[in-house]
Amino acid sequence: MLHRRAFTVSVIWTLGLLFLGSVVHATESSLACPDWPTCFGTMVPEMTGGVFWEHLHRLVAGGLVLMFVLATWLTRKEVSDRPWMFRACVAGIVLLLIQSVFGGLTVIYQLPDLVSTSHLTLAFAFLALATVLASSSSWSVGRGTTDDTTGRALTRFATVSAALVMLQSIVGALVRHTDAGMACPDAPLCLGKVVPPLVNLPITVHFTHRVLGILVGLVVLSFAVWAVRAAVPAAVRTWALLAAGLVVGQITLGFLSVLTVLAVVPVSAHTLVAAALLVVLVHLAVFGTVARDAAEVPSQMQAT
């Protein structure tokens, strides 16, 4: 159905937008357009230098809003048995509009740390919401392919993992916007120590991000091992192994970001991989919920 495709495109579009946002910051182009919503007083500025990245980011963000409005309209037209999906779409539109306002405030007030961090946090929140909608439409094929207990365990494992990735991404946003990326200039140690002296905010935020990264890695890798051993469909095992690969890649890119002194490619890829990992884990959490609900229906029928 068209609404399913629109949700999937919205997820991919959001991943691209997050990548562009990271490029904007890594290339120090965040204030290349000193005004908002125009850029030097026009919607069609000369696309050179930092203006190219900053204005492209704005154009892609505007396109995402239009794309999701279309997805919402298609949902209203095609889906009548799940009214929660339309309400979630409306919430997604509101979330996008609020995020756009925060993006404007970021420029107008010249990159305040909390506003910029909130802007990125809202982007990850919308990504999770769009993934829930896309996955709820696509996972229907997998109904009844696992038992209720396994479905519940899958939902819990994936949800906890996704929540940790979300938390780490928020702290990562703080690292980015407080300029704490090089507070620990070495890797894997920090200032030559396993636990550095937490004497200021940049070191504390940076080190917290690293600790959370290790925790996320352990949880996601444990999740993948469980999925391989559990009685789950082959598709679930594949997605869980993909999550394991992404978390290893994310940790590697994090260290490369430090060792290359925040080079554009590893820093931007680090954000993209974190976002992709969130998508995979939310996707798996939705499958667990779908499978659990499907398993409960036969049980209720037998009870009656």
Report the predicted TM-score, pTM, of the whole model to 2 decimal places: 0.93
E-assigned strands of the chain? none
What pLDDT is attached to residue 291?
Answer: 73
What pLDDT is attached to residue 300?
Answer: 44
Cis peptide leading into residue 83 (ω within 30°)? no
Q: Rounded to 5, what percent of the chain is helix, strand, coil?
A: 80, 0, 20
What pLDDT is attached to residue 145?
Answer: 57
Residue matched to tokens 């999937």: 8
What DSSP string runs through 172-199?
A: HHHHHHTT-TTSS-SSSSBTTBSS----
Q: For residue 198, what are the contacts with CB-CB under 8 A and spacing of at least 6?
A: 204, 207
- CA distance linking residue 278 with residue 163, whole number of Å: 8
Q: Per DSSP, what are the bridge partners of residue 193?
A: 190
What pLDDT is attached to residue 293?
Answer: 63
- CA distance linking residue 41 with residue 35, whole number of Å: 7
Q: Per DSSP, what are the bridge partners of residue 42?
A: 39
Sign of the alpha-carbon dihedral angle for 176, 179, 185, 189:
negative
Task: With CA atoms as reference, report the closest residue to 207 among 181, 244, 226.
Answer: 181
Instruction: Please report, in tens digits, the pLDDT of each residue of the chain (304 residues total).
Output: 889 999 999 999 999 999 999 999 999 999 999 999 999 999 999 999 999 999 999 999 999 999 999 999 999 999 888 899 999 999 999 999 999 999 999 999 999 999 999 999 999 999 999 999 999 987 654 444 566 778 888 999 999 999 999 999 999 999 999 999 999 999 999 999 999 999 999 999 999 999 999 999 999 999 999 999 988 888 899 999 999 999 999 999 999 999 999 999 999 999 999 999 999 999 999 988 887 665 554 444 344 4
Instruction: Name residue 102's amino acid.
Output: F
Rg (C-alpha) for the chain, rounded Å, is 21
- CA distance linking residue 260 with residue 267, whole number of Å: 9
What pLDDT is attached to residue 241?
Answer: 97
